Amino acid sequence: RSNLAGVRHILLVLSGKGGVGKSTIATELALSLRHSGKKVGILDVDLCGPSIPRMFRAQDNDVHQCDSGWVPVFVDQDKSISLMSIGFLLEKPDDAVVWRGPKKNALIKQFVADVAWGDLDFLIVDTPPGTSDEHISTVEALRPYKPLGAILVTTPQAVSVGDVRRELTFCKKTGLRVLGIVENMSGFVCPHCSECTNIFSKGGGEELAKHAGVPFLGCVPLDPQLSQSLEEGRDFIQEFPKSSAFPALAHITQQILDGTLQRSS
Amino acid sequence: RAVSPGSWFELGSCTKGARVFSLRDLDFGDSPAQACFQWGGLVGWFVFQVALLDIDICGPSIPKMMGLEGEQVHQSGSGWSPVYVEENLGVMSVGFLLSSPDDAVIWRGPKKNGLIKQFLRDVDWGEIDYLIVDTPPGTSDEHLSIVQYLSAAHIDGAVIITTPQEVSLQDVRKEINFCHKVKLPIIGVVENMSGFICPKCKNESQIFPPTTGGAEKMCQNLNVSLLGKVPLDPQIGRSCDKGQSFLSEAPESPATSSYRNIIQRIQEYCDQHPFQEEKII
């Protein structure tokens, strides 16, 4: 029995560029899915810059071995969220992983084959930016398990949207369904005067979704409470239901859940 | 500026005695400020010949930020010609080799390395004073290759870009360790997206909070210089999207003066660490 046999849906989070919020979206999506009663795993295949462990304040954990493979790191007692990342395998947190493609590919294969996830409703795969070794290897390794599809994250500016256009082509070429585009860092509401400033412009993600004929999942605004929660590894979905980013994240999650219902019916 | 013959010739028609440094950033690769930083730098170094090499093979942003989208690379007897923004500023990027903005470069390491080598060997850069290399996030193929291919040519050092939060700093520490490992000198660290001043009420917000002391504390701990902090300014993103120079579009912005200071500090670093000709010959 394969280690992914108990996983119902596999989602990939992709983007063309770094720093647009893939790990943020992956983390918040996992937290909101848990909020809806789902069991979620996150596989972090960003080998040179893993962010997931810290975003769950799990960075000091180690990975243990069991009969069926590596035991993922659980973030809570209920084991409702489990994580796997190279961050758990490093001796020192600041160690650089200076690896060329083949080594990265080998670890990704191992991550896909050897992690004992158990039963999960969702496995979210957080990727590094680009369309290279990690992406090709991940998509190839996951193909037998028929991933549900990919969520593409962008910021609103044209330079970021340009990279997501290439990512869309990657999905098309590798036969990965696009679940939709998320526009992150979309506007900032000043906490002092409530004026909304579009620091990184506005609307680029939505326009691209229209142009490419894929669903637009929503705009997540810049929200200091969100950045702060991620820094401290706190549950933003639980603690800040009144914040500006909350409704956007809840809406994205709902669409993913609706999509899976449609697929299973 | 001293022009020294030597190992550069191994790179074919490449430049002689250029200042080389690589701009590397990890997490916040698409920070629009970054390329403006570069372009600003280039304009600031008006008297110099500058080359900008974009080795982000899967996500080249430089052509758009420089207003060069749709440009093509031309072949001449002496190799590929860079695309010129100004007479003294030549650019090379995989973006110029793609036929459509939707084209994805789905390549594994060896092919990326091959192209980087070609960029160094086959591009007719002419004589340049500064070669700036923009890298993708990470510590992998592209980074190892550029350092390896330029090792004989002497890289002046690396400028490392971060944002204030710990999630970004933790990656930058890895990047600093990478530089130590491959013996690449570190010119310094730039903290980007450092605070935002509301254009309406002029109050400052920390959108990306420096919960562990930001780049400043990290630089102190690791004994690396902090070159400066660049605040968030919506105009930076707009300039990048339009391919305009932020420094000339917004000369009054606090971000502009911050860029200018950073550029000056990089220049000072390069002047204080002169090219050692004897080593090369």
Verify whether the Cβ–Cβ distance A159 to B28 is below 8 Å: no
Nearest C-alpha of chain B: how many angstroms from A69? Answer: 27
H or E, element range at A141: helix A133-142
Instruction: Check residue B160 and give its pLDDT.
Output: 92
Q: How confident is the model at residue B24 (pLDDT cuts 50, 70, 90)?
A: very low
| Amino acid, single-letter form, for residue A50 | P
Among the partner-chain residues A17, A51, A201, the one whose CB lies closest to the CB of B29 is A17
- Note whether A208 and A154 are within 8 A (CB): yes
Among the partner-chain residues A16, A193, A224, the one whose CB lies closest to the CB of B201 is A193
Instruction: Check residue B2 and give its pLDDT.
Output: 30
The two three-digit tokens of residue A243, written as one number: 């914040």
Residues B230-251 have pLDDT tens digits of 999 999 889 989 988 888 889 9
In terms of C-beta density within 10 A (0-12 exposed, 13-18 middle, 19 or more buried), how is residue A264 classed? exposed
- Does this model's pTM top 0.90? My answer is yes
What mean pLDDT, rounded, does chain A reach? 95
Number of A:B CB contacts under 8 A? 218
- Note whether B91 and B117 are within 8 A (CB): no
Verify whether the Cβ–Cβ distance A195 to B200 is below 8 Å: yes
Mean pLDDT of A171-192: 96
Instruction: Check residue B46 and give its pLDDT.
Output: 58
Q: How confident is the model at residue A6 (pLDDT cuts 50, 70, 90)?
A: very high
Q: How confident is the model at residue A96 (pLDDT cuts 50, 70, 90)?
A: very high
The residue with greater pLDDT, B35 or A189, is A189
Is residue A21 marked as binding? yes
Q: How confident is the model at residue B48 (pLDDT cuts 50, 70, 90)?
A: confident
Chain A residues inside the 8 Å CB shell of B237: 157, 199-201
Cα A262 to chain centroid, rounded: 22
Instruction: Check residue A36 and give its pLDDT.
Output: 96
Instruction: Check residue A16 and give its pLDDT.
Output: 86
C-alpha distances (whole Å) from B77 to each of B50, B74, B97, B215 are 22, 10, 18, 47
Q: Which residue has the tokens 């992690």?
A: A115
Residue of B nearest to A99 (CA): B140
Mean pLDDT of B267-281: 68
The two three-digit tokens of residue B75, written as one number: 């072949």
Instruction: Check residue B130 and give its pLDDT.
Output: 86
Residue of A nearest to B24 (CA): A18
C-alpha distances (whole Å) from B13 to each of A264, B125, B149, B151 are 60, 7, 14, 17
Nearest C-alpha of chain A: how many angstroms from B129? Answer: 28
Residue of A nearest to B139 (CA): A98
- A51-72 as b/e: b if 16+ CB within 10 A: bbbbbbebbebebeeeeeebbb
Mean pLDDT of A197-206: 94
Is residue A6 marked as binding? no
Residues A106-143 have pLDDT tens digits of 999 999 999 999 999 999 999 999 999 999 999 999 99
Verify whether the Cβ–Cβ distance B237 to A169 is below 8 Å: no
Instruction: Check residue A231 and give its pLDDT.
Output: 96
Instruction: Check residue A255 and give its pLDDT.
Output: 97
Is residue A17 marked as binding? yes
Q: Which residues on adjacent β-strands are paired with residue A181?
A: A152, A216
Which of A36-50, A207-221, B213-227, B238-252 is least confident? B238-252
B19-269: what CATH class? alpha beta
Verify whether the Cβ–Cβ distance B106 to A131 is below 8 Å: yes
Nearest C-alpha of chain B: how many angstroms from A75? Answer: 18
CA triple A174-A177-A180, angle to 5 deg: 130
Q: Is the dihedral of CA B174, B268, B250, A196 positive or negative?
A: positive
Is residue A16 marked as binding? yes
Measured distance CA(B213)–CA(B41) in Å, rounded: 27
Nearest C-alpha of chain A: how many angstroms from B62? Answer: 9
Residues A32-41 have pLDDT tens digits of 999 999 999 9
Residues B67-111 have pLDDT tens digits of 999 999 998 888 999 999 988 889 999 999 999 999 999 999 999
| Amino acid, single-letter form, for residue B31 | S
CA triple B236-B241-B246, angle to 5 deg: 35
Residues in contact with A202: Cβ distance below 8 Å, sequence separation at least 6, in sequence order: A156, A186, A187, A219
Residues B158-213 have pLDDT tens digits of 999 999 999 999 999 999 999 999 999 999 999 999 999 999 999 999 999 999 99
Measured distance CA(B25)–CA(B160) in Å, rounded: 6
The residue ranges of every structural domain in chain B are 19-269
Of A107-121, A250-264, B248-262, give the range with the top mean pLDDT.
A107-121
Instruction: Check residue B245 and give its pLDDT.
Output: 87
Interface confidence, given as ipTM, is 0.94
